[in-house]
Amino acid sequence: MPKIIENIEQKIFNAVVLLIRRHGYSAVSMRMIAKESGIAVGTLYNYYSDKEELTTTVVYLSWKETLKNLEIILNKELTPREKLHLFLESLYDEISQRRGIGNELMKHDLYKDKKFIEIQAAYTKIFRRLLKELQDFEGKNFGESFVKRIQKNILLITINLVNEFIEEDRENIEYLKKIADQLL
């Protein structure tokens, strides 16, 4: 009778995150992931055909969860400015949990995958909705060019803070809020 492994996908996810942080994408193998997950290599291949598919799927599903959490924030009964602050905190926390993995994926051009184009489009839609609420509530008018730039800059600043100022999460989040408040 086959062994039933509880939370197998979560174990695989955790293993991928840990191993890529520790060794980098290139050094990680399916065998290492299987060992860290506590499953047989063959079982891992039943779920994913190769390391690229596995890694992009893990990050894709993680970002889908992030986007869901950001949507929840937008649906709260708060002022747009309060939503902005919660949005930034959540975005920071989610990126922090995946610290280092995004950099590895970019080094290996895995962000060109259609899954990530979908994620970028969904992030853009959510962020623009937030800015629209802020605009309407505070009587501001952000031009299209500004919106494109601020959206990308907020994401890049967040990633940079997570990667450069490790162990300073609270300070990083407050800094991010101040920047956003000044720009918006």
What's the CA gap between 102 and 81, in Å, rounded? 28
Please give the residue range of the domain that contains residue 108: 55-183
Q: What is the pLDDT of residue 1?
A: 40
What's the CA gap between 91 and 108, in Å, rounded? 23
Q: Within this chain, do residues 94 and 161 fall inside the same structural domain, yes or no?
A: yes
Mention every residue, 6+ apart, whose C-beta is less than 8 A from residue 34. 40, 41, 43, 44
Give the distance from CA 91 to its chain's centroid.
Answer: 7
Percent of the chain at pLDDT exceeding 70: 90
Distances (CA, A) of 151 to 11, 68, 123, 136, 145: 33, 18, 9, 17, 10
Q: What is the pLDDT of residue 108?
A: 62
* CA atoms within a 13 Å half-sphere pointing along the CA-CB vector of 73: 23
What's the CA gap between 179 and 113, in Å, rounded? 31
Counted residue by residue, the chain has a size of 184
Q: Within this chain, do residues 73 and 135 fall inside the same structural domain, yes or no?
A: yes
Q: Within this chain, do residues 67 and 158 fall inside the same structural domain, yes or no?
A: yes
Q: Within this chain, do residues 161 and 77 fall inside the same structural domain, yes or no?
A: yes
Q: What is the pLDDT of residue 100?
A: 65
pLDDT tens digits, one per residue of 102-161? 666 666 666 677 888 888 899 999 999 999 999 999 999 999 999 999 999 999 999 899
Residue 184 token pair: 């918006």
What's the CA gap between 101 and 111, in Å, rounded? 11
Q: Is the pLDDT of residue 2 over 70?
A: no
What is the rounded average pLDDT for all residues in the chain? 89
Q: Within this chain, do residues 142 and 114 fall inside the same structural domain, yes or no?
A: yes
Q: What would the mean pLDDT of 52-72 be, rounded to a whole number?
A: 89
Q: What is the pLDDT of residue 13?
A: 87
Q: Determine contact, residues 145/92, Cβ cutoff 8 Å.
A: no
Q: What would the mean pLDDT of 62-72 be, rounded to a whole number?
A: 93
Residue 43 token pair: 């079982």
Q: Within this chain, do residues 102 and 172 fall inside the same structural domain, yes or no?
A: yes
Report the number of secondary-structure helices (H) and strands (E) in the chain: 9, 0
Q: What is the pLDDT of residue 70?
A: 96
Total count of domains within the chain = 2
Look up the CATH number of the domain holding residue 17: 1.10.10.60
Q: Within this chain, do residues 89 and 169 fall inside the same structural domain, yes or no?
A: yes
Q: Within this chain, do residues 107 and 18 fall inside the same structural domain, yes or no?
A: no
pLDDT confidence bin for 29, thresholds 50/70/90: very high
Look up the CATH number of the domain holding residue 72: 1.10.357
Q: Within this chain, do residues 44 and 61 fall inside the same structural domain, yes or no?
A: no
Q: Within this chain, do residues 80 and 36 fall inside the same structural domain, yes or no?
A: no
Q: Within this chain, do residues 13 and 36 fall inside the same structural domain, yes or no?
A: yes
Q: Within this chain, do residues 88 and 123 fall inside the same structural domain, yes or no?
A: yes
- HEC-encoded secondary structure of 46-58: HHCCCHHHHHHHH
Q: Is the pLDDT of residue 40 over 50?
A: yes
